[in-house]
Amino acid sequence: MSNWFLVKYISDVFRNEPMNVGVVVSGPSGVGSRFIGEREDGSINGQRLGKKIDGVETYKAWVKFIRREAEKGRLESRIDSLARRVGDSYLIERRGPVLSGHEDQSPSEIAAELFSALVTTGTPAAPSLDALAEDAISRLDLPQGHAIDRDVDYDVADRNERHIIHFDYRHRGGPVTLMDRISLARHGKPLSQSVNDLLFRIDKMEKSGNVDNFVALYSGADASSAIEKQLRLINAYANTVNLSNSEASDTLGQILGVPTLPIAARGLQGAR
């Protein structure tokens, strides 16, 4: 039988008004957990914590500690000793066995379901990468004869093979520039595969002699050391634009050699 625990954070220990920040489920098949700010790979994105949780590194350390103790089967025994500590901002509650009806679910699935029901992130959903890219492009003041094409395909010959090479955007009117969105929300092997796929397409286009200018569009909301390493790799072959940056459209305009709309005009355009 699986047991579950609710993790709470108290911003003001004097007022003692805890908020739910995570769920841990421990069962015969393993341990599952879910916490506010958690990425797909389990790491914590501090930018997603909002203003209600102080001390990002402390929060990360607590999440790591709780997961480790749960995986070693010691979380149950730790609760009583932690409860005797005065002034701590984190509290772990033993909530008992998981109710029937979840026999076919893994601890991770149960934790995700409980998290959805009990934990309010309190932070608005971040704009999608597609939306960020379209917003940056909409702020470009394209001169006459310049245009941005979307969903562009090239039929490229490579020795005895032909490849259909796709890019999300193409700027034409000056030197042709191909642009592609790349999601950094994926981590580990999936992220490496995405980066390698982009570099493969850039390499094929360069060898074809058709295009020499490339831009990778990404969101910096999921910054981490692993992502920085991948960005350095991309930068060796293409310009990069952080769409989460308030100056993203200006940076993109400089790369493409086109002006951007004045701030007042941007607001009018967004209101249409």
What is the share, in percent, of the chain residues with pLDDT greater than 90? Answer: 48
Whether 196 shows a pLDDT value over 50: the answer reads yes
Mean pLDDT of the chain: 85
H helix runs in the chain, sequence order: 56-71, 75-83, 107-118, 129-138, 189-208, 225-235, 248-256, 263-271
pLDDT band at 272 (very low <50, low <70, confident <90, very high): very low
Q: Which domains does the chain have, with CATH numbers?
A: 3-118 (no CATH), 129-271 (3.40.1350)
Q: Which residues does residue 260 pair with via DSSP β-bridges, in sequence order?
A: 140
How far from 183 is each of 22, 195, 214, CA to CA, in Å? 26, 9, 16
Whether 185 shows a pLDDT value over 70: the answer reads no
Whether 144 shows a pLDDT value over 60: the answer reads yes
Whether 165 shows a pLDDT value over 80: the answer reads yes
The CA radius of gyration of the chain, in Å to the nearest whole number, is: 24
pLDDT at position 264 is: 46
Q: Which of 19-23, 64-68, 102-106, 140-144 has the lowest mean pLDDT?
A: 102-106
- What's this model's pTM, rounded to 2 decimal places? 0.57
Nearest Cα to Cα of residue 148 among 265, 258, 241, 261? 258
Looking at per-residue confidence, does 85 or 178 come out higher? 178
Mean pLDDT of 98-124: 80
Q: Which of 103-117, 157-171, 180-194, 198-212 has the lowest mean pLDDT?
A: 180-194
pLDDT at position 123 is: 55
In the block, which residue shows the tokens 């941007």?
266
Element (H, E) at 162: strand 161-172
What tokens appear for 1 in the block? 């039988």
Separation between Cα atoms, residue 216 and residue 190, nearest integer Å:
17
Looking at per-residue confidence, does 119 or 81 come out higher? 119
Separation between Cα atoms, residue 101 and residue 117, nearest integer Å:
16
Q: Which residues contact 120 (CB under 8 A, 6 or more apart)?
A: 19, 20
pLDDT at position 63 is: 93
